[in-house]
């Protein structure tokens, strides 16, 4: 039986929307007027409300600071043809969020609570959704452990919060990636498939080193041999070959099950591309480049959407990839995906949820 949750709504006395939109939007720097909050205490969800966006107060002994119980999601909202708010595949993000929660020994957020809170927040702050091309409202749900004691065990108390941010494109230019053959992002049996904060924290130093060398991101490889491609730092990866074939790493416990990834695969198959999800060796991709068989490579993710990859570095060699144009798969797929998300074409997959 579906449980009903009552949401208290406290509106801000002064909107910051006009001021925020008077400047160029930078990804993740500006936040909307309100946030959704719910606390998990004594086995129940309580203190459920939409509040003005503000700092939160936590005790220094909160377990999140010491033992890392923190997970998050990334979602987006768009403006439809009649300026109505549209959410893209929210149910998939909710399911993935709860899968992350289970792996991190945290309580599941009831799907109806998650969705009701999300809808209430987006409806209230719908004027924050940019309508410009390439812009959207980025949605960040997250949950942290809030018990106040020092001891290595799962917390009994948690706080679930949703904040939103109007954004432009995450990557403005094609991405240069370096194949990582020393550091490890995730190992089998670990938390690589979860959107756990710790996964991203331990990737920062290798990414910083790559950036100093002139690369935008890493192309992570398996922890055992560093021979097989897994994903990039902010996105899943795909490679388009001749004869309308796409290859991409097969999902595992070390690879995030990307919502955009799955969307692109479905659209590719609709566009009569063969999609091969496999254990993908770095050497195979390098051979495709050398044999002029690789047409394009790109990343997929909620933040990045579809980001072209212009260069792959491996073993000290920079392999430049072909430029994309209007006939490239990634360009056509992004256009179709964007039309679906904005309600401008038929949504035959039922991905879009109207608020």
What are the tens digits of pLDDT across the range 326-349? 999 999 999 999 999 999 999 999
CATH 3.20.10.10 segments of the chain? 175-339
The residue to which tokens 């416990």 are assigned:
253
Cα–Cα dist 330/333, whole Å: 5
For residue 304, what pLDDT is reported?
A: 83
For residue 5, what pLDDT is reported?
A: 86
CATH 3.30.470.10 segments of the chain? 8-167
> Tell me: the pLDDT tens digits for 12-66?
999 999 999 988 888 999 999 999 999 999 999 999 999 999 999 999 999 999 9
Cβ–Cβ under 8 Å, residues 272 and 243: no
For residue 134, what pLDDT is reported?
A: 86
Q: Which CATH architecture describes the domain 8-167?
A: 2-Layer Sandwich (3.30)
Cα–Cα dist 121/139, whole Å: 10
Residues 6 or more apart whose CB falls under 8 angstroms from that of 261 comprise 236, 238, 248, 300, 301
DSSP 252-281: -TTS---HHHHHHHHHHHHTT-EEEEE--B
Q: Which of 269, 273, 187 is nearest to 228 (CA)?
A: 187
Cβ–Cβ under 8 Å, residues 45 and 31: no
For residue 3, what pLDDT is reported?
A: 66
Cα–Cα dist 220/255, whole Å: 10
Collapsed DSSP state (helix, strand, coil) of residue 352: strand
For residue 1, what pLDDT is reported?
A: 46
For residue 234, what pLDDT is reported?
A: 83
**How does 101-119 read in b/e, with b if 16+ C-beta sit within 10 Å?**
bebbebbbbbeebbbbbbb
Cα–Cα dist 53/87, whole Å: 21
Residue numbers of the chain with a pLDDT score lower than 70? 1-3
Collapsed DSSP state (helix, strand, coil) of residue 65: helix
- Distance of CA 117 to CAs 106, 110, 128, 140, 170, Å? 19, 11, 17, 12, 26
CATH class of 175-339: alpha beta
């Amino acid at each position: 039986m579906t449980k009903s949750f009552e949401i208290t709504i406290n509106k801000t006395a002064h909107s910051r929307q006009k001021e925020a939109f008077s400047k160029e939007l930078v990804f993740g720097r500006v936040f909307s007027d309100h946030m959704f909050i719910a606390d998990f205490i004594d086995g129940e969800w309580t203190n459920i409300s939409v509040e003005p966006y503000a700092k939160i107060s936590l005790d220094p002994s909160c377990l999140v600071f010491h033992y890392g119980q923190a997970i998050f999601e990334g979602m987006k909202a768009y403006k439809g043809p009649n300026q109505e708010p549209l959410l893209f595949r929210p149910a998939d993000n909710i399911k993935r969020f709860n899968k992350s929660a289970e792996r991190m020994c945290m309580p599941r957020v009831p799907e109806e609570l998650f969705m009701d809170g999300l809808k209430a927040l987006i409806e209230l702050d719908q004027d924050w959704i940019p309508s410009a091309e390439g812009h959207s409202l980025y949605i960040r749900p997250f949950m942290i452990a809030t018990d106040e004691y020092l001891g290595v065990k799962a917390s009994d108390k948690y706080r679930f919060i949703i904040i939103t941010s109007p954004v432009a494109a995450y990557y403005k230019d094609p991405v240069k990636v370096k194949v990582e053959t020393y550091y490890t992002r995730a190992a089998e049996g670990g938390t690589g498939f979860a959107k756990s904060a710790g996964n991203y924290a331990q990737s920062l130093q290798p990414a910083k080193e790559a950036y100093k060398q002139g690369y935008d991101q890493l192309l992570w490889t398996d922890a055992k041999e560093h021979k097989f491609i897994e994903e990039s730092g902010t996105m899943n990866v795909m490679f388009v070959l001749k004869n309308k074939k796409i290859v991409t790493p097969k999902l595992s416990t070390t690879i995030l099950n990307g919502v955009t990834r799955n969307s692109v695969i479905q659209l590719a198959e609709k566009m009569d591309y063969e999609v091969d999800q496999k254990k993908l060796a770095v050497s195979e991709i390098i051979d495709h480049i050398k044999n002029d068989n690789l047409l394009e490579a790109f990343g997929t993710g909620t933040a990045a959407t579809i980001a072209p990859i212009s260069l792959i570095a491996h073993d000290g060699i920079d392999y430049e990839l072909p430029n994309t144009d209007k006939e490239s798969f990634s360009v056509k797929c992004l256009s179709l995906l964007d039309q679906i998300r904005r309600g401008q074409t038929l949504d035959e997959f039922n991905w879009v949820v109207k608020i």
